[in-house]
Amino acid sequence: MRNMRLPEWLQIGIAIIGVWVGYSQLDQLNEEQRWKNYSELNARYADFYQALPREVLVAATDNFVKATPETKRVIRQYFDLYSEEFWLYKEGRIPESMWTQRINNGVAINLAEYPALISGYRYWKTKGAFQHPADFRVEVEKLIAEVCRNQPKLEPCRLPL
C-alpha cells in the first residue's frame, strides 16, 4: 500500500464512489417500484369498490352459500387482491409504512364495515382458497378476530370459525 502512487489511490477512490452511486440509484429504483406497486393496487381497489354488489354493502350474508354468484366472485376477488398485497409486503415490494398504516388497517376497517367479507372469506376458505402466501390465512384471521373482539354483535362474529 505504501508504494501506491496518487493516480492509483485516485482510481480506488473513484471506484468506491462509483459503487456507492450505483447502490444508491438501485435503492432509489427499488423504492420507486415499491410505490408503483402500491399505486397500481390502489387503482385496482378503486375499481373493485365501484363494482361492489349491493348485497355486500348491506348484508352480512351469514348463510353465504345462498349469496349470489356475483357476490361470491367479488369477495373472492377482494381476498385475492389482499393476498397479492400481503405477498408483495412480505417480499419487501410495498413500503412498510403503506402496509401498516393503510393496507392492513384498511382491510380491518372493511371487515368491520362490510361483514359479508368475513362470511365470504370463511366460505372460500372451506373451499380451499387462500393457501398462498403460506401465512396469509393467519393474517386474515387475526384481523377478523380483532374485528369480532371490537364488534361481537356483528352477524358473522356470532358464528363459529
Q: Is the pTM of this model over 0.85?
A: no
Written in H, E and C, the secondary structure of 14-76 is HHHHHHHHHHHHHHHHHHHHHHHHHHHHHHHHHHHHHCCCHHHHHCCCCCHHHCCHHHHHHHH
Please indicate, yes or no, if residue 3 is contained in any of the structural domains. no
Question: 99-155, pLDDT tens digit by residue?
Answer: 888 888 889 999 998 889 999 999 999 999 998 898 999 999 999 999 999 988 888
| SS3 label, residue 99 | helix
34-74 pLDDT per residue, tens: 677 667 777 777 787 777 777 777 766 567 888 889 989 99
Considering the domain boundaries, does residue 26 fall inside one? no
In a domain, 148, yes or no: yes
More confident residue, 3 or 97: 97
Q: Report the pLDDT value the prediction gives residue 60, as an integer from 0 to 100.
A: 60
With CA atoms as reference, report the closest residue to 110 among 141, 135, 78: 78
Residue 31 lies in a domain: no
| pLDDT for 140 | 96
State the pLDDT at residue 7: 76
Domain carrying residue 77:
38-158
Could you give the 3-state DSSP secondary structure of residue 133? coil
Q: Give the residue from 140, 113, 128, 121 showing the smallest Cα distance to 71.
A: 121
For residue 9, being part of any structural domain is answered with no
Specify the number of domains making up the chain.
1
**Residue 116 located in a structural domain:** yes
29 inside domain? no
In a domain, residue 72? The reply is: yes
